[in-house]
Amino acid sequence: MGWGFEMIDVTKQAGGRPVLDGVNLGARMGLVTAVIGPAGSGKTMLFRLLAGLERPDTGAVLVAGRDIAAARGRARKKIQRRMGVVFQGTDAGLFAGVSVRENVEFPMRAAGRVPGRRLGAVAQEQLERFGLADHAEARPDALAPAQRRCLALARAVALRAPLMLVDGFDDDLDPGTLRRVCAILREENAARAATWLLTLRDPALAALVADEAVELPAPGPVGGAFGPHSASSAVMRR
């Protein structure tokens, strides 16, 4: 089993302070990896580096063996097309001007992994799984925060991407919805063997949903999430 992604000796500063310092992290293809940590520990920066939205100050960020940090233009877009990405927060990059159904269908159409004749059926299936079928024609701003979060996850799952990145996996979801979403994720992982990276706060949730988990410590007095001698440590494996 090859590597889905790797971060090798990555450092990153933001606002003049170290956010990630000497990070070495890898997840094998087909596994779910949870990154746990409190606010300020660098979870979102780690997510953004893997998504190709930020570049490290030093080090390499490899996605399926290719350095997304070094890629430019079309080369970077080619790597990013292999990803399903869910941003932190209730808006999570949703398209405010179109319906819930169209929010799921449009990214699938752009990615081209689902035949055109199947777009409607796949979108409907995901909306039903995430409890949104009755809201298919509504706009995202008519949904409750937890429902908008579920829509962002449904849209990402529908993409059938080899690499799935979710920032703030447990944001805005009540315990019952979290259990349902975790079950869906495990079903998807068993069926499609995508590589998942989830950032979250709750170690108990990580134990429920992930194959492996790593913990980022709280920022120290100098603001670093990882010290140069403290690479991410595995705290749980299935």
Long-range contacts of 232-237 (CB under 8 A, 24+ apart): 232/23, 232/24, 232/25, 232/35, 235/36, 235/203, 235/206, 236/203, 236/206, 236/207, 236/210, 236/212, 237/211, 237/212
Token code pair at residue 71: 């890629």
Cα→Cα distances 93→58, 107, 116, 153, 230, Å = 28, 12, 23, 11, 33
**Joined tokens for residue 132:** 């949104």
Q: Which residue's entry shows tokens 């749980």?
A: 236
Distance CA 236, CA 238 (A): 7
Query: By mean pLDDT, which of 17-21, 149-153, 196-200, 229-233 is the weakest?
Result: 229-233
How far apart are alpha carbons 23 and 42 in whole angstroms?
11
Share of the chain above pLDDT 70, in %: 89
What contacts 147, CB < 8 A, 6 or more positions away? Answer: 131, 132, 135
Span 16-62, pLDDT tens digits:
888 998 899 888 888 999 999 888 889 999 999 999 999 999 999 99
- Residue 212 pLDDT > 70: yes
- Say what the pLDDT of residue 99 is: 96
The model's pTM is: 0.86
The DSSP bridge pattern shows strands 83-86 and 163-166 to be parallel
Residue of 230 and 137 predicted with greater confidence: 137
Cα-only R_g, the chain = 17
Please report the domains of the chain, with CATH numbers, ordered by start residue. Answer: 3-82+162-237 (3.40.50.300), 97-155 (no CATH)
Q: How many angstroms from the chain centroid is the CA of residue 111?
A: 17
E strands, the chain, are: 3-14, 17-28, 32-36, 58-63, 66-67, 83-86, 163-166, 195-200, 212-215, 233-237
* Higher pLDDT, residue 234 or 55: 55
Q: How many CB atoms lie within 10 A of CB 187?
A: 12
The answer on pLDDT for 1 being more than 60 is no
Mean pLDDT throughout 224-232? 37
Q: Which residues pair with 214 in a beta bridge?
A: 35, 234
pLDDT at 228: 33
Reading the block at residue 153, the tokens are 């996850």
pLDDT in tens, 54-69: 999 999 999 988 999 8
| pLDDT tens per residue across span 103-147 | 999 888 888 888 888 899 999 999 999 999 999 999 999 999 999
According to the model, what pLDDT value does residue 3 have?
65
